[in-house]
Chains A and B, each alone.
Chain A
Amino acid sequence: MQRIGVFVCWCGSNIAGTVDVQAVAEALKTEPGVVFSTNYQYMCSQAGQDIMKQAIKEHNLTGVVVCSCSPRMHETTFRKTAAAAGLNPYMVEIANIREQCSWVHKDMPTGTEKAIILGKAAIAKVNLNTPLTPGESPVTKRALVIGGGIAGIQTALDIADAGFEVDIVEKKPTIGGKMAQIDKTFPTLDCAACILTPKMVDVAQNEKIRIFSYAEVTDVKGFVGNFTATIKKKARYVKEDVCTGCGICTEKCPQKKVPNEFNLGMDNRRAVYIPFAQAVPKVATIDPDHCTMLKTGKCGVCAKVCTAGAIDYTQKDEFIEENYGAIVVATGYNPISMDKFDEFAYNQSKDVITSLEYERLMNAAGPTAGKLLRPSDGKHPHTIVFVQCVGSRCSACDEKGKEYCSKICCMYTAKHAMLTRDKYPDTDVYVFYIDVRTPGKSFDEFYRRAVEDYGVHYIKGMVGKVMPEGDQLKVRASDLLANKQINIDADLVVLAAAIEPDKSARPLATMLTASMDTNDFFTEAHPKLRPVESPTAGVFLSGACQGPRDIPETVAQAGAAASKVIGLLAKDKLTCNPCVASSNEIMCNGCSSCANVCPYGAITYVEKEFRQPDRTTLVRRVASVNEAVCQGCGCCTVVCPSGAMDLKGFANNQIMSEVDAICK
């Protein structure tokens, strides 16, 4: 039998105004298990807490019921008080007689009657409470960063800087991501490569960081502090540790007609290639879809010219398993496909291009060596039309576009327009926009410079149609401010395509049991207060996988995610919520229903030996709950037909005793 103390709080007049606290304390005195009952003006005050501590010691209490405000308010307070007096904190229950009683009822008799019933329910529950101790689980002091763009790079560098090991898994042959493809960065116009490539080198040279390039995460098991990831290292048919990156193979390979994805297919690469000069790791990769040797077994030129002997046509995909304490998702974004936007003639004319393609055209290492030339005929364009919001800010019913604002397009379009006018004053540059959104440090100043100093024609309105005619593009658009239709004969049209999460994000979210929104962006644990954590403990978010963002924001978020990871890895042990499910093995049927509904994968099955009454041993399959993973929702307890699964702190008999107390 418990020895329960009841403490009724007045909360000044907040409770005492509508509830006769004295009567409540008196009425609850005779409830089963109650050995002490009192009331006080402010139970949460130091004096109130002292009354509780003293009573626990004096009356040898084994349980405490506080009739006060909501447990969401002071449950932690009173648990700490009880613990300070040597009582297990989970032996405290709160009867909510303020928010759910005195504040919603008007007259004293009603409020008092209800408060007594709520108190009885809490007492009935405490009678069945058992002391709970939070479990502990160890932490593997290594982090996994999925994605090697600027978000992943910055996160990895920051984590490594704090002294923890980090692995970066990048699906492309090199890290660098989208930023490596970008020419200049707004609003300072410094060259992207100049600020990114030193960071890539830092990553390569950091002893704490390992790079798994041309690799993918194929499976993740475990839980916060104890993840096990399976990484698939795709065969690149080049020995990574032998290749010197000299590039001779990429010059001699006879297969010259492979579209170069780094330049978005605007020029060709060989079947064996290094994506770009500053690639990290600087190692060649053979493209199995185009390599004649791998396809037909005849060729072998690269192996012949490779002085290091790095080519290995027999290489196979390799799977490795690694343990991690934390995982950072940095899978980034892609521009959406322009296939559905026929009105802009993207698929009809080579001279209608996306902004990222324009970025490559402007880049000194791009297909035109930085000269602005039309993709169709290599001539210098004189009239360039930029179209903003292509696929962004679409109505919900529009199936080809996205509802959200892609955020970065206004700024990069201003950058493109400005750079074009700066380098080629002989060009006419038009920008069609719905709104120009420039809320960032020095952003609006930048945009205004484009308009005012560089003479870019900003026209509010959308382009209705682009029609290729001869070697020109007839652009039909509306000018909303002048309220008229306008036609422009353009040489080049640049579309600011909306951005979307990388396709690899969805299966990854499933693997991590991390949630996503309808657009496949990862959701955060709390949009305002926990913006870099996913709702799944131990999984963090960095960069555009969470929503459109520019480079400074991405780097800031990468650092924030890293600091969260560091905070986690700095701990030797994690404390777990003790209110978790547990299975009574004797009653468990091993039917798997509980495991099927568990949102966290916390339930596994083990073969367990049981001694039978006839002294034989029987091996049965029974459920086992990983207390470090279980979050205590209790879903499993209801699907369990035998009632073997129960939830600590909210056990079947506890809830039923509350029901009984209320229904008496």
Chain B
Amino acid sequence: MQIENKKPLIVAFCCNWCSYAGADLAGNNRLNYPAEVKIIRVPCSCRVNPMFILRAFQRGADGVILCGCHPGDCHYTSGNYYTRRRMALLFSMLDYLGIERDRTRVEWVSAAEGAKFAATMNDFVEKVTALGENKRLEDLRCKK
């Protein structure tokens, strides 16, 4: 298959206080993960609108992962609890529409969990790579 040589495109939304710092720590400790992962910084995981995720898929992302503080540790006290509900419902809906469930994920990564961040990204990229290209949600008009 031609999928073999095409690298997937992964968008990772990371909250400023925990997961983005966790990603920085992974860097500090030189823990490798694939360059396919591109991080977008948001103040809190609850800032991520489902529209952003759909937009990423529309534009050809093969996987979208959302990282936030562990439940109970949110810098804004309750943001990630709302994130959890929204994403539970959104991902369940995408699954219902027949979108491969391994293309989406929520992971709680603290500022101290650089290793977890790297491991999560390695695992996620591996799963998405196995799925091949995102054909079900991309929008051909957005292809160049």
Contacts and interface: CB of A to CB of B under 8 A. Distances in A.
B141 interface: no
Given A70-B24, A100-B27, A535-B77, A638 B40 contact: no
> Majority SS of interface residues in chain A?
helix
Interface stretch (B48-56, B93-101, B102-110, B125-133): B48-56
A71 to B, nearest CB: 7
A515 B79 CA distance: 14
Interface stretch (A310-318, A450-458, A604-612, A649-657): A649-657
B38 A656 contact: no
Contacts of A617: none
Contacts of A638: 46-50, 82, 86
Given A70-B24, A121-B38, A633 B46 contact: yes
A658 B61 CA distance: 13
Given A104-B26, A633-B79, A664-B144, A656 B44 contact: no
B118 A104 contact: yes
A106 interface: yes
Contacts of B46: 597, 633-635, 638
A633 B43 CA distance: 6
B56 A105 contact: no
B67 interface: no
Contacts of B43: 579, 632-634, 647, 650
B76 A637 contact: no
Nearest to B138: A663
Interface string B13-39: 000100011011111101111010011
A361 to B, nearest CB: 43
A184 interface: no
A125 to B, nearest CB: 9
A101 B82 CA distance: 30
A662 interface: yes
A118 interface: yes
Contacts of B78: 597, 599, 635
Contacts of A656: 51-52, 55
B59 interface: yes
A663 B42 contact: no
B83 to A, nearest CB: 8
B30 A634 contact: no
B58 to A, nearest CB: 8
A100 B48 CA distance: 20
B136 interface: no
Contacts of A597: 46, 78, 82
Nearest to A579: B43
B9 interface: yes
A240 to B, nearest CB: 39
B65 interface: no
Contacts of B49: 637-638, 652, 655
Interface in A96-118: 96, 98-101, 103-106, 110-111, 113-114, 117-118
Given A104-B27, A106-B32, A650-B42, A599 B52 contact: no
Contact of B42 (A73, A101, A634): A634
A251 interface: no
B64 to A, nearest CB: 9
Nearest to B41: A71
Nearest to A125: B40
Contacts of B61: 659, 662-663
Nearest to B44: A633
Interface in A509-524: 513, 515
Q: Which of B25, B48, B79, B142 lies at the interface centre, i.e. has the most chain A CB atoms within 10 A of its CB? A: B79
Contacts of A379: none
Interface in A68-84: 70-73
A287 to B, nearest CB: 40
A658 to B, nearest CB: 5
A41 interface: no
Nearest to A115: B35
Contact of A99 (B16, B28, B59, B144): B28
A631 interface: yes
A272 to B, nearest CB: 45
A101 B27 CA distance: 8
Contact of B35 (A105, A635, A655, A660): A105
Contacts of B28: 99, 103
A474 B49 CA distance: 67
Contacts of B32: 104-106
A99 B77 contact: no
Contacts of B51: 652, 656
B125 to A, nearest CB: 12
Contact of A647 (B47, B50, B52): B47
B59 A663 contact: yes
Contacts of A659: 11, 40, 52, 55-56, 59, 61
B144 A663 contact: no
Interface string B54-76: 01100111000000000000011
Given A73-B24, A599-B78, A662-B11, 17 more contacts: A70-B27, A96-B24, A99-B25, A101-B27, A104-B31, A104-B32, A117-B38, A121-B40, A633-B75, A635-B82, A638-B48, A638-B82, A647-B43, A650-B43, A652-B49, A659-B59, A663-B142
23 contacts: A72-B20, A99-B23, A100-B27, A103-B27, A103-B30, A104-B27, A104-B30, A121-B38, A597-B46, A633-B79, A634-B44, A634-B46, A635-B46, A635-B79, A637-B47, A655-B40, A659-B59, A659-B61, A662-B9, A662-B40, A663-B9, A663-B61, A664-B144
